[in-house]
Amino acid sequence: MKISTSSKLQLLLFLGFILFGVSVKAQNEAYSSETTQEIADTTFVNLKEYSNDFIYDMKYATEDNFLKAKVYDCAECLLRYKTVKALIAANKEFMKQGCKIKLFDCYRPLSIQKKMWEIVSNPKYVADPKKGSIHNRGGAVDITVVNAYGIELEMGTDFDFFGIQASHNYTKLPVSVKANRKYLKTVMIKNGFNSFDSEWWHYNLKAGLNDKVSNQKWKCD
Ligand SMILES: [Zn+2]
């Protein structure tokens, strides 16, 4: 059978379209499989890879803490992915009011929990490493709120103040302090966290209470 030049051209164009179509389809499949490949909720991730909207003041990466020792090599906030998602949602809510979350502590290796327990063996303030803290499970954060100028809202005590004044149940505080604590607590609870009675700064992800305790180091640049 003789094929004319124009028919050959048409055939080539036709084949070209098919190949083009196939390659586009293949690319789409690869793309969609990437997007549908969700990270497991329990995977440990670094918060900064998901948001740049947090203020970092990681106290245990400095000597400015009750251990009086720098126990983290660098100031990173590692958490389980589900904790990161809930924390970002909470931060977005604070940002609507011109505020942001400031982080003091996130995931805490079990070995550090043991060091803390040696200094403060009081479960009101430091979880017994035998049970493990929700920090060791990647589901707890120690935080406060800063305003649009980066200034911390007055919360009545410093972070890691181990006394009754740090409790949510302590009422002998200025009205503004009580309002600030309530603001922090309301937004966090709305986004899936529980408060902790004796520490205004501590929040546990409700969905993270039963995860495994972990003892790992994170990468420092
Ligand atoms: Zn805490």
Q: What is the average pLDDT across 4-33?
A: 48
Cα-to-centroid distance, 107 and ligand 1 (Å): 9
Cα-to-centroid distance, 24 and ligand 1 (Å): 50
Estimate to the nearest angstrom the gap between the alpha carbon of 122 and the chain centroid: 26
Number of domains in the chain: 2
Cα-to-centroid distance, 90 and ligand 1 (Å): 17
Q: Are residues 188 and 87 in the same domain?
A: yes
Confirm if 215 and 109 have CB atoms less than 8 A apart.
yes
Closest alpha carbon to 72 in 206, 211, 209, 219: 219
Is the pLDDT at 32 greater than 60, yes or no?
no
Whole-number Cα distances in Å, 120 to 56, 58, 150: 25, 19, 31
> What are the φ and ψ backbone dihedral angles of 193, each rounded to 5 degrees?
-105, 155
Cα-to-centroid distance, 182 and ligand 1 (Å): 17
Query: Quick one: pLDDT band at residue 221, thresholds 50, 70, 90?
Result: confident
Range of the domain at 8: 1-37
Amino acid sitting at position 22 = V
Q: Are residues 7 and 87 in the same domain?
A: no
Q: Are residues 118 and 146 in the same domain?
A: yes
Model pLDDT, residue 24: 41
Q: Are residues 8 and 87 in the same domain?
A: no
Q: Are residues 56 and 20 in the same domain?
A: no
* Token pair belonging to 130: 């035998």
Q: Among 8-17, 66-75, 132-141, 182-191, which stretch is predicted with the lowest mean pLDDT?
A: 8-17
Q: Are residues 21 and 57 in the same domain?
A: no
Q: Are residues 30 and 128 in the same domain?
A: no
Q: Are residues 21 and 48 in the same domain?
A: no
Quote the Cα angle for 74-80-82, to 5°.
135
Domain CATH for 145: 3.30.1380.10
142 is in an annotated binding site: yes
Q: Does residue 186 sit within a domain?
A: yes
Model pLDDT, residue 11: 54
Model pLDDT, residue 70: 93
Neighbours of ion ligand 1 (CB under 5 A): 142, 202
Between 74 and 17, whose confidence is greater? Answer: 74
Q: Are residues 146 and 55 in the same domain?
A: yes
Model pLDDT, residue 29: 36
Q: Are residues 18 and 88 in the same domain?
A: no
Query: Quick one: pLDDT band at residue 60, thresholds 50, 70, 90?
Result: very high
What positions carry a catalytic annotation?
A: 199
Q: Does residue 215 sit within a domain?
A: no
pLDDT tens-digit readout, 105-148: 999 999 999 999 999 999 999 999 999 999 999 999 999 999 99
168 is in an annotated binding site: no
Q: Are residues 95 and 199 in the same domain?
A: yes
Q: Does residue 219 sit within a domain?
A: no
Q: Are residues 25 and 92 in the same domain?
A: no
